[in-house]
Structures are given as C-alpha cells and as structure tokens.
Amino acid sequence: MKKILLIFIILILFVFLLLVLFWKIEYNPLAGFSRWNLEGTVIENQQDTNQNPDIIQLSNNCFRLYSHGTGTGSDGLMNIYSYKSCNGLNWEFEGERIHRAAMPAAILEDDGKIRLYFQRGFENDKQQALMMAISDDGLNFEVEKMPLLVTGQGELEGIKTIAHFEIIKLDKGYRMYFDEGGLVPSDFEKYKNENWTWPVWRIRSLYSEDGLNWVLDTGVRIDYEQEPLKYMQRAGSCAVIKEGNLYHMYFVAGFSPWEDLKQWRRWSWSGIYEAISENGLDWKIVDKNIFDKGTDPKILRMGDEIRIYISEGHREGGNSIDSYLKK
C-alpha cells in the first residue's frame, strides 16, 4: 500500500513539473526578468489627470511632469496638466496647463524655454494634428495657432492616427517617436486575405533640425509583428533614454482590445518590453515583458540612478503612476 501511495505521489509531482514546464515554454514564452525595484505609487488616481506622463528636469534640478486627462469637474475634454517634484517621488499637483490637448511631450531648451508638443483634433476631429506650445516658466504656455503636422497631409500622408509622443534631443536636432494607429489587414499586402479585422499599432519616428520642421523617418522603429511580437497587434507608447553609446527604448506591447483572444495569453504576454539601438532608428528587442502590467512608461535619470514611471489604470476610473528604480 505504501509503495502504491509513493508511486502515486511521484506521478503527481511529475505531472506538476510537466505543467510548469509547459507553462514556461508554451503559455508564457515572452516572460522576462525585471531589473527594476518597485518604489511605490507616487501619484494617486484621485483625479483623471495623470495619463501618458512626460517629465523634464528644470534648471533648479527639480522636475515637472506633464500628463493628460479629463480632470475633475472638467467639460469632458482631454486637457494637459502638470505636477512638480524635487525628488521624483513626491509630486504636487499644479493644475491645468493647456485646454483641449493630449499626448504631451516636453523638452527644455538651452535658453530655458520649454517646448510642449501635443496632439489635438483637427477639422472637426476627422484628423489629428501635432501642435506645439512654448513657455518661459513651464506653467503658462502660448500655443502656436498653426499645426506642425496633420494626419493624411504632407509628411503624414497615409498615416491615419498619431499618439504617444516621445521627443529626445540629438547632437544635432531632435527625434520624435510616435504611435501610428488605425491600420487594418487591408493596409498590408500579405494580410489582405486574412479574416481578422481588428486594428494594429506600431512605432514610427520624425526628425527635425529645429523642432519646428519635421520629416518622417523612413521605415518603422518597432513593428507590431517584430520578433518576439509576431503574435501581437500593438506596439507603442515608448520612452527612450541614451546610456553610453546605446539608446534604450521601453514600450508597451499587447493585443488589440477588439481581438477575440483567450484571456491567459492577453494577461501573460502583454506588458512593457525593452529594445536597444545604436542610431535610434534600428531597434532590437532584447528584454521580454519586464513589466507585466501598466502602460505609458517614462524614463528619468537622477544622478547615477535611473527611474521608470508606469501608468496604471483602475477599474474605478483614473490612473495612478508607480515608480521603479533600476537595480
């Protein structure tokens, strides 16, 4: 009897180990290992003002975070708000900066002025525009009346939607990364005969010498079907930082919200990934799913430390922002 019981226990353990192995190899092939320590929630979801954050370091070494949201008591339109912190952990809400604006991307110029790029609906929201505003103090902005770019026109001819801007300063000029969305199988020759219809997103980029005149870079920075994302339909919302001779990009990869997909795959594979590049144009994905939740990563260098902020949605509404410190 004891021998039979022992054999039964061994069989149970063997089956359990097989299930674990099967999960690791088949059901969770994109799992990575985080090199970040959670510091905690730095901005609570008390008001819907903190989605898609962007952060700049001010001349006094404090920081200002710009984000978008509808805001408490607003008219339901998307607006840009700001927070301020001198340690990167304790953020003070400063209020609304620009009305009817979304997807902020800010940069501090050598003359102390702050340029804030953002998205706004154009032609009764049938198109989307890349807009720019300038401020001397980071709080009071003068919005340029004319768009820098408009979807479906000029440099954005053939591009249907733009979102999640990320701007970096180069040795000469600027590069702006953005999400190209609204794509469907009929936009790609090899998918014309496929029976799925949900849209996809991918990461593109623009270049400018002066921050005013932008040219679309050739090609795609991160494609939705790039290894190991070949089963996904969404890559976007990136943050870029240069360390040594390499650029590091942290971006969100996942599935279209309209896809009829088994939940285990959506939960297990969706997350934040890392890619590296020598030139900021050609990217190789090197780390798989380092964060399995959250979106809209933002990188901040503070002395010798690097901190990443992740926007976390909540069922009850609003987004909180969590902070992680690189190990």
The 10s digit of each residue's pLDDT in 264-293 is 555 567 789 999 999 999 999 987 668 877
Integer Cα distance of 221 and 207 in angstroms: 13
Contact partners, residue 128, CB within 8 Å, separation at least 6: 119, 120, 121, 122, 150, 151, 161, 162, 163
DSSP run (H or E) holding 289: strand 284-291
pTM to 2 decimal places = 0.87
**Does residue 216 register a pLDDT over 90?**
yes
Residue 321 near residue 41, CB atoms below 8 Å: yes
What does the pLDDT look like over 38-91, one tens digit per residue? 999 999 887 777 889 999 999 899 999 999 988 766 577 899 999 999 999 999
Alpha helices per DSSP H over 37-196: none
